[in-house]
Amino acid sequence: MVWILGPRQIGETTLPREIARTWQRRPDLFPKLRVLTDRDRRPARFLLLGSASPSLLNQSSESLAGRIAYVAVRAPAGRRRRDPHPGGIGPLAGPSASQAIDATLSAVKVSFFETGRYCPPTPLPSEWPVPSGAYDPDAGARAFRDMIERLRYVEALGFDWISVSEHHYSPRILTPSPMVSAAFIAAHVPHIAIALLGPIVPHSNPIRVAEELAMLDTMSEGRLVVGLLRGTTNESLTYDLNPDEARERTDEGMELVLKAWTEPQPFGWQGRHFQYRTVSIWPRPLQAPHPPTFALGTSKESCEFAARHHLGCGVSYGSFEAVARATRYYREQCARYGWEPSPEQIVYRANMIVAETDAEAEARLRALPNQAPFSMRPGVRDAMATLDSRNIAGQARAPVISGALPTTFLGSPDTVVEQVRRCREVVGAGVLDLSLHPPGSGDLDALKRALELFGTKVLPHIRDI
Amino acid sequence: MAFREGHVDADGFRIRFFEAGDGPALVHLHGAGGPRITPSHELLSRSFRVIAFEMPGFGQSPENTRSESMSELATTIARAVEALGLGAFNLWGTSFGATTALWLALQAPERVLALVLEAPAAIRQEGARPVSGSALEMARLLYAHPERLAADALPDPATQARSQPLVRRLRGPDRDPEFESRLRALTAPTLVLLGTLDRVISPDVGRIYKELLPDGHLVFVYDAAHAISTDRPEAFSEVAADFLRRHDAFVISRSPTLIHP
């Protein structure tokens, strides 16, 4: 007996010729199947198809142990395909069938936040922007070679997504163009979903953003997840974005990206900050109507935008309680617009330090510098602090300019599993986007050890949370 | 805004100056070609009280055989500014005058609020030569678009020639390690501007200032030659004024991009 599992409408039911009734409609199916299977011991007499929720599987008193094999078919980005066909079915996921099932049915998905990990051969200047002259091209080339090796390992460990972000002028995060990063990763890491979290909308040409994301979704065969955002405070200084306009340009730009993806007729855009007489992008995204998309940010405006456009919501780095204010507000807004987001539509980016013991993890946190690795000049920092208004669900929040970002998951694997459980309850996030080691650290061995520990001792235990 | 002419006595010199505008004081020190009121002077006088000196030995002033060094000339100018009753002030130096400005800022750091160095000649690529030749030859060296200049704006070889000995005496070596090491202690916010088409001072020297100056910023002005404030007056004045007003924070854009409300 073989059960092919997959999220809805990814094509798993178009594959076979014989179709059994799905588990959802007949929860009493398993006991009957056991009897039928035991009568005739020939292999693979029954082919079960369709998606199932973890709660249903857990409800079953009949596990069919020894009688059933599971094969998971992933639509890696977790959304419907525009045009299901056998060739478009996602690859069989993960290193083993059981892990594959976990990946499909998990309530908490896990994303690995990849930053490029540049290891400078000599100490660097400490001010942002860091002079380009201090960059070592060979070290840069090595960083991207190592990145691919690392991400293949991440995929093999059973992570659900790899995420990349847009940051400029810093050795800390070597991915100024997340589009290029994502394309490179998609070409070298074959199965995992790639989350582009995300292009900084206010300083980009939104049409170009829509076009490049559509290309990526198509080239990666629907593995793309998208987060659109305003960007961190310092990013206003790259590409000369006026901080006063950042919010407005983000909202308008995001709406224009969505419109460019979904409007079938050439259109003009008479905006406040963007103006086009004719737009008609090719290609459009592979996933329909577009890749799973998040508005990233804790602000009232961002949450409202996400709710209004039926997008996911992404929060980052704050304490569970702080970001929960935003996710609660987001869910309230969704209700106002008459819909309810799934846990998978809330993603939380956070720092995690996991070690063999709590004490070791705490020691490692203490060893980290307590300030941003590349700080701005005081004159710029202070001016930015007054100009850059941010909020959590409407409550003013100071921009993070010179402080270190907090680490909200810290401890032994058991402790971290408990923290993930708490986070799931408090924040409601179905996806954790994790830095398992300080993003700027060049200690790749430590990162690899953290990955291994997380993959073997944490990941298997947070699937059923 | 019309510039009015004035004179001030300082350090034994009778020094002519041109003044226009209200607001914070902005003192200008001209290049080796002598004083000239450019469109940038007009533009900057909309937000600053611009005082452009004719340094002793340049323009219509008699030959200056007294100033032995750039440091001495800077002291003279500092005294002239003081004689005008100005305490702290902003300082804009062009080419040769930018070297004077740097010396002045080193001598009186507490008085110089911020520095704008237009194509500064204090650090030069190897083999750099002072501008000389016929009016047209000089114009070709100094301007990216000499064809745009009014005939009376062309450099005057006779005036140039009169100040040439002073320039040679004061301009210093292409690289002066002792002077450069002093720049490392210059605390005034400093904006260094170089034209991408500068044929007198290589735009590549800008990076040396950036490395030396603790609070230095480097801006390349596209499609401008050595005489940036004449080649691209709007571009030059906008960034200079913004820097003088906001110092370091001028890196934060305040330009609106709203198309329609």
Say what the pLDDT of residue A40 is.
55
Q: Tell me the average pLDDT across B68-95.
A: 98
Query: Is residue B254 included in any domain, yes or no?
Result: no
pLDDT higher than 70, residue A402:
no
Ordered structural domains, chain A, with CATH:
2-100 (no CATH), 106-462 (3.20.20.30)
Q: Contact A242/B249, CB-based, under 8 Å?
A: no
Spell out the residues 6+ positions from residue A75 whose beta carbon is closer than 8 angstroms to its own. Answer: A6, A7, A10, A11, A81, A90, A222
- Percent of chain A at pLDDT > 70 equals 76
The partner residue sitting opposite A387, judged by closest CB among B252, B257, B258, is B252
Q: Contact B257/A245, CB-based, under 8 Å?
A: yes
Say what the pLDDT of residue B114 is.
98
A2-5 β-sheet, strand order: A47-49, A2-5, A69-72
What is the interface size between A and B, counted as CB pairs within 8 Å?
54
Q: Tell me the average pLDDT across B95-112.
A: 98
A371 secondary structure, DSSP code: B
Q: Contact A271/B260, CB-based, under 8 Å?
A: yes
Domain count, chain B: 1
pLDDT higher than 70, residue A459:
yes
CA–CA dist B73, A263 (Å, integer): 69
pLDDT higher than 80, residue B218:
yes
CA–CA dist B102, A9 (Å, integer): 71
Query: Is residue B133 included in any domain, yes or no?
Result: yes
Task: Identify which has the larger pLDDT, A202 or A370.
Answer: A202
- Token pair, residue B83, equals 């004689």
Task: Identify which has the larger pLDDT, B150 or B58.
Answer: B58
pLDDT digits (tens, 9 = 90+) for A409-431: 999 999 999 999 999 999 999 99
CA distance B181 to chain A (A): 19
- Percent of chain B at pLDDT > 90 equals 87
pLDDT digits (tens, 9 = 90+) for A207-254: 999 999 999 999 999 999 999 999 888 888 999 999 999 999 999 999
Q: What is the CATH number of the domain that holds B146?
A: 3.40.50.1820
Average pLDDT, chain B: 95
ipTM > 0.95 for the complex: no
Q: Contact A240/B246, CB-based, under 8 Å?
A: no
Query: Is residue B202 included in any domain, yes or no?
Result: yes
* Predicted TM-score of the model (pTM): 0.83
Query: Is residue B255 included in any domain, yes or no?
Result: no
A235 contacts A241 by C-beta, under 8 angstroms: yes
Average pLDDT, chain A: 82
Q: Tell me the average pLDDT across A258-285.
A: 97
Phi, psi of A268 (to 5 degrees): -105, 160
